Structure 1
């Protein structure tokens, strides 16, 4: 399988060409039982191998993407690049950090914590791969955003990261951050069941400023694939069990959007996952869907979603579904730090 669709990142990374569909690594390790290394490695390689020469796969990991917020994700990434050094230059690694880790992780954009986070990430990567892009997972309301970005510029100048990103921020915060230093990418949740007004504002502002949008959970954390038919299908210990949208009453109500999208996907002879990815990709040349996958077959399916061309009629039909379905339940149990 070969993938055709590519795009470029923004800001200081605007010369870097990446696949139109990125690869999220979170659920490889943020589980009570991490996925076996070889399965993870084959899933990562599958996406990279499908790309045109000279194109990088945008990989997204996290400092705290492990059970009990451990650094398991970074350690797995380091083992991958140790085993497959040929893939170092074929990938662009983005890592989220910048939280104060405790019983309840909280944003901490202080200079001391950002330095701690970036240095820990590099320590766990063990020199196997550059930290191509760092982003604070949330905007800290108690620290000046400008001060946080200036700290990341210092760390960049020290050679500890190459590009600066932002995550779960408002359009206004994105503009403020970009005024301090060009932002290469902004990560927000976008899918047919998560297309809020502020998401539209961030997408428009990012386009104006020349910033890539990394659209995480384009499959609604797996819900929009239709593979999860009831709450019991989510494994014990999986954090999705705590999310409001996956609670039983909301689940049954929200499944209407899955049925509607599945019908459209069938009419186009694509999977429901591919339809959602193609719709997110259609929101702009600068919008890069970020689905997660721990299976090579699923990675290939997801990447192929970026090559699907939706007609104006297709998009209008999906938009009618998106507008008509009143999704029940918040995106997170703790909403306080979204759109920071």
Structure 2
């Protein structure tokens, strides 16, 4: 049985909660047979020492129809394994407008609709430990958005507040209104921007945990995707700029470089990336997705990999010298995509 040793604590009002150093993104579980999905979740929790929780990350819209299918699957998991409710910490993203993945509304009315949808899908099998708006609403000051969320803290509907895809200045403003427990941003060896570093520094200063989503570059950095044709039909990654044919082969060079470092270390490329992301701060939690037990355990083991100063220097050199082609998502305008809100 795999036994994970490395853990950390969250921030803000959740600073007393111990979680595994590597979190578990659940988006890929949607559509996976229950028995397979349940084992993927269960294996990670079972690998943790007593008193340490698995940080699970879900969303109101993590389904092809942008509905709560992912949360409904989670509800079935906790119904079958009720003892795992207290062994996990559930973070949920929401506040998108119905049937949209590009419009977000942090008004009291839409937040109530969103949180009610999440609560209904969970059917009382698991409480929302932390809620965060998936993007910063450009039409509502972040201070007002956090005040709107605090209402649900006061009502006992959620326990903690997070913030997702925000810039450093926004994080500071939000935390001044109410302690932010987790900030969720994209971090990987091919997504390490100047604003990333600013958010990391601000979070460390304020004692906020960082959930680093897509630490494997949406699977690209594992080396398992060797051409655009390897991406299944209907997979959202087919639309991402970095996966397009005109960028793919160039970007695959960074995979080869990281693979060489991983082979010398005796770990997989995925574990190397997870270890590097985790090394960026005590409270930085790499947040890879997994729909299979084996992948969950491989990812968790990456959190126990200790990089030497020389190995970190080798990885930093690759990152600094390699120019990734293509933006993080499908467009080129960060404001239109609500990045770094």
TM-score (norm. length: structure 2): 0.97
Return the alpha-carbon distance in structure 2 between the equivalents of residues 197 and 257 of structure 1: 19
* Superposition deviation, residue 103 in structure 1: 5.0
Query: Partner residue of 1:328?
Result: 325
1:239 aligns with 2:236: yes
Deviation of residue 68 (structure 1)? 2.2
The answer as to 2:12 corresponding to 1:15 is: no
Which residue of structure 1 aligns with residue 61 of structure 2? 64
Note if contact 2:262-2:272 (Cα within 8 Å) is conserved in structure 1: yes
Q: Which residue of 2 aligns with 1:269?
A: 266
- 1:1-340 correspondence to structure 2 within 5 Å: 1-29=2-30, 34-103=31-100, 105-334=102-331, 335=334, 336=336, 337-340=338-341
Equivalent position SS for 1:64 = coil
For the residues of structure 2 that align with 1:63 and 1:25, how far apart are their CA atoms? Answer: 12
Q: CA RMSD in A?
A: 0.8
Shift, 1:104, TM fit: 5.2
Could you tell me how far apart the structure 1 residues matched to 2:95 and 2:67 are?
14
- Secondary structure at the residue paired with 1:132? strand
Rounded to whole Å, the distance in 1 between the matches of 2:7 and 2:42 is 17
Separation in 1, partners of 2:123, 2:155: 17
Deviation at 1:185, TM superposition (A): 0.2
Deviations 1:97-142 (A, max 9, x none): 0111335531211121111111111111000001000000000111
Structure 1-normalised TM-score? 0.98
1:52-79 per-residue CA deviation (whole Å, 9 max, x = no partner) reads 1110000000000000212110100101
1:79-100 C-alpha deviation (Å, 9 max, x unpaired): 1100111101100000000111
Alpha-carbon deviations, 1:19-53, whole Å to 9, x = none? 00000001111xxxx11111110000111111111
The 8 Å contact of residues 119 and 160 in structure 1, kept in 2 or not, is answered as no
Q: Which segments of 5 or more consecutive residues in structure 2 lack a partner in the other structure? A: none
Check conservation: 2:72, 2:121, Cα contact below 8 A. Answer: yes
Q: Secondary structure at the match of 1:166?
A: strand
Equivalent residues of 1:111, 1:147 under 8 A apart: no
Q: Is the 8 A contact 2:131 2:162 kept in 1?
A: yes
Unmatched runs of 5 consecutive residues or more in structure 1: none
Residue 99 of structure 1: SS of its match in structure 2?
A: coil
